[in-house]
Amino acid sequence: LSRIAPVGVVKIAAPSGPKGNLTGEQVYGQVCKTCHEAGIAGAHKVGDRNAWGKVIAQGEKLTVQHAISGIRAMPPRGGNADLTDAEVQRAVVFLVNKAGASWKEAPVAAAPAAAAPAAAQAVAASAPAPAF
């Protein structure tokens, strides 16, 4: 049986980085763009100062809460339940700033640079040696 054992093992991880590290622009591109670029279901179009003026006037806290909880035709978190509150906040800030606001995005945590090589070494070390 050892003569026909595989030479190595390949482990494929889910393509995701640390949770919560998407920028507002990334969240917009992945989640919000579909509706907010075309104005689908009454969504305010990105960059439309008149439409976003009332949203900006209500303040960041309420606007972010609406995006997290959902409002009118918009589902909670834009339909992506995996988004963190910080990622939703960053997307809201990205959108309102395109309409003239100057809100600040929540900071994105820096991913540890040494983690990737260490993970690759761990996978390589766990592969069984060939049996001759």
Q: Which regions in the chain score pLDDT beneath 50?
A: 114-115, 120, 122-123, 125
Q: What is the pLDDT of residue 92?
A: 97
pLDDT digits (tens, 9 = 90+) for 81-115: 999 999 999 999 999 999 999 999 999 887 555 44
Distance between CA atoms of residues 77 and 121, nearest Å: 37
CA distances from 3 to 44, 125, 131 (A): 64, 21, 6
Dihedral pair phi/psi, residue 90, rounded to 5°: -65, -40
* Cβ-contact 60, 103 below 8 angstroms: yes
Name residue 74's beta-bridge partners.
71
Locate 80 and state its tokens.
């992506």
Say which residues have a Cβ less than 8 Å from residue 18's Cβ, sequence separation at least 6.
109, 111
Q: What is the pLDDT of residue 18?
A: 65
Q: What is the pLDDT of residue 113?
A: 55
